Structure 1
Amino acid sequence: MITTDFVAGSPCWLDLGAPDVPAAAAFYSRVLGWEYEPMGGGEDMDQEMDEDMEGGMFRKDGKVVAGLGRLTEEGARPAWMIYYSVTDADATTRAVERAGGTVRVAPRDLGEWGRMAQYSDPLGGQFAVWQPGTTKGAELVDETGSLSWTELYTTDVAAAKRFYGDVLGWWFSDMELPGGGGTYSLVTPAGLPEKRMHGGLMELPAEHLSLAGGRPYWHPVFHVDDCDAAVARVTGNGGSVQMGPEDAEGVGRLAVCLDPSNADFVLLTPSGD
């Protein structure tokens, strides 16, 4: 489960890079019941951060759940970026480089709120880290309409385990998927019990990763009360469904979805809901 104590190595934030901010804000508001709060660059943010600063925050029941910004990176695809909490972004950057990853955005301060950096793992999966200042992360997680899990689709789970274990200190445990669906590797922050598992790794051939041109990619899983009803809202508002809705034994009912700009995410109604 994901919690808001945000221990080192746990998911703490996510934001969406979208080509059309108003359209993305409207879509997720209708699908997940979020309220969108636009914001502009403040005086305490550096000039580079102020440029092209179109975006804001999503809230659920008044609590911040995610961010939204205009996609400005040339050649980048619309996608959710997941941030993991670290105590020292500079030390993490050095660990990424030692482990064969790439620094996409070098560590930088975002005012008093914290310090961030973005990377690619050795196979191309993109992720980010957050060294908290006054802001620790999202205010609502593991509840209806919020982040409840993170997932990496990769072409090489063994390599991903080595990299993320070295960089973020994760522990892994494997489970066999029903019906011969392969092995799913569960992720837990170092030193915590398995009940604090926050994500998983799934190995897929490159031809099944067409969204990212055959490269691995992370995506968020959002908790919803009724997966089928949420999927209907996705398709009714210009999104599409890659898989599901279907039942996953011991997990719940889920669907892999795309928003209108093809950013991917998963909707999950956990077992027992």
Structure 2
Amino acid sequence: MTTFTEHKQGTFSWIELATKDAAQAKKFYGELFGWSFEDMPAGPDLIYSMCNIGGKHVGALYQMGAEMAKEVPPHWDSYVTVNDVDATTKKVAPAGGKVVKEPFDVLDVGRMSVVQDPTGATLCLWQAKKHIGASIKDDPGTLCWNEVYTSNVDRAGKFYSEVLGWKLDPVDMGPMGVYTLFKAPGVEDSVGGMMGITKDMGDVPSHWCAYIATNDVDASAKKATDLGGTIMVPPTDIPNIGRFSIVSDPGGAMFALYKNMH
């Protein structure tokens, strides 16, 4: 079990589902990944549900209010830990991005902002206080990777480099095209990846996708459909790296299933 007591600057630390039907989402993810849920009141008419494995936090979900649900489809948000969310957020506009929500305190657990890169992909920035984010990563049923699909890899890459200090490591994947790995200063492993949106993907907006680890991608993808989800990208091998599938839950929020080859 890969447990964490802190997350380093520039690394992904949390995922959060905004859904139109929390009960439906709990049933789907509970059966798919074995998650249990801990409901926490988080304001008027808002219940914030921690998603747990073995009593440890792996993510969260909440049901959107009526106004938000009219404007925003169900989705998974990805969070990156930063040491100073105010200073990092100030870099967003000069780098060509947009601040969706200025930094604000989340009770006494942390401080955050919501930003968009120049191509429209949304990302949350998190400065931890009492809540570091996920206590477990990289194990089955937990976050193992985050990847941005973008309409312009050059603009997006420059943005993340300027705002988060990530170094770009392009890798030629042959028929799959060029895949860019993000490297954070002082962190040995790559922290995330970037792919250009291709014509065969259709009219897909730029977005971040959370990858959740599983012992068997094919079995998990089938189970997702049995539970009312939809396979968007069927189980596919990434040569010498792993196997993945992109699915959407019954509410339409997309995420990826992944198993490392090594």
Distance 2:256 2:36 in 1: 19
Match of 1:192 among 173, 187, 196: 187
Q: Does 1:238 align with 2:228?
A: yes
2:55 equivalent in structure 1? 62
Q: CA deviation at 1:99?
A: 1.0
For residue 227 of structure 1, what is the aligned residue in structure 2? 217
> Could you tell me how far 1:235 is from its partner in structure 2?
0.3
Kept after mapping to 1: 8 A contact 2:3/2:135: no
Contact 2:231/2:245 (CA < 8 Å) preserved in 1?
Answer: yes
Other-structure match for 2:45: 52
Unaligned runs of 5+ in 1: 42-49
- Counterpart of 1:46 in structure 2 is none
Q: Which one of 87, 110, 117 corresponds to residue 114 of structure 1?
A: 110
Provide the rounded CA distance (Å) in 2 between the counterparts of 1:266 and 1:120: 21
Q: Which amino acid aligns with 1:189?
A: A
Per-residue CA deviations over 1:158-204 (Å, capped at 9, x if unaligned) read 111100011111111111114x22100011112333xx112110001
Report the identity percentage: 32
Contact 1:148 1:198 in 2 (8 A): no
Change (3 A) 1:60 1:209: farther
Supply the RMSD in Å over aligned alpha carbons.
1.6
Cα deviation code 1:214-233 (max 9, x no counterpart) = 42000100110111111111
Amino acid in the other structure paired with 1:61: G
Three-state SS of the structure 1 residue aligned to 2:158 is helix
Give the Cα separation in 2 of the matches to 1:81 and 1:3: 21
Q: Which residue of 2 is the match for residue 174 of structure 1?
A: 170
* Partners of 1:164 and 1:51 in 2: CA distance: 35
Q: Distance in 2 between matches of 1:268 and 1:223?
A: 5
Q: Which sits farther off after the overlay, 224-233 or 50-59?
A: 50-59
Closer/same/farther in 2, CA of residues 55 and 191 from structure 1, 3 Å limit:
closer
Any idea what SS the aligned residue of 1:96 has? coil
Q: Specify the alignment match of 1:101 in structure 2.
A: 97
Aligned to 2:239: 249
2:133 aligned counterpart, secondary structure: coil
Q: After TM superposition, give the deviation of residue 51 of structure 1 in Å.
A: 2.7
User: Between Structure 1 and Structure 2, how many residues are aligned?
Assistant: 257
Q: Residue in 2 aligned with 1:29?
A: 30
In 2, are the aligned partners of 1:59 and 1:65 still within 8 Å (CA)?
A: yes
Local SS of the residue matching 2:147: strand
Give the superposition deviation at 1:209.
5.6
Gaps of at least 5 residues in structure 2 are none
Secondary structure of the corresponding residue to residue 154 of structure 2: helix
Is 1:258 the counterpart of 2:248? The answer is yes
> What secondary structure is seen at the aligned counterpart in 2 of 1:142?
coil
* Equivalent position amino acid for 1:200 in 2: G
- Verify the 8 A CA contact 1:117 1:128 in the aligned structure 2: yes
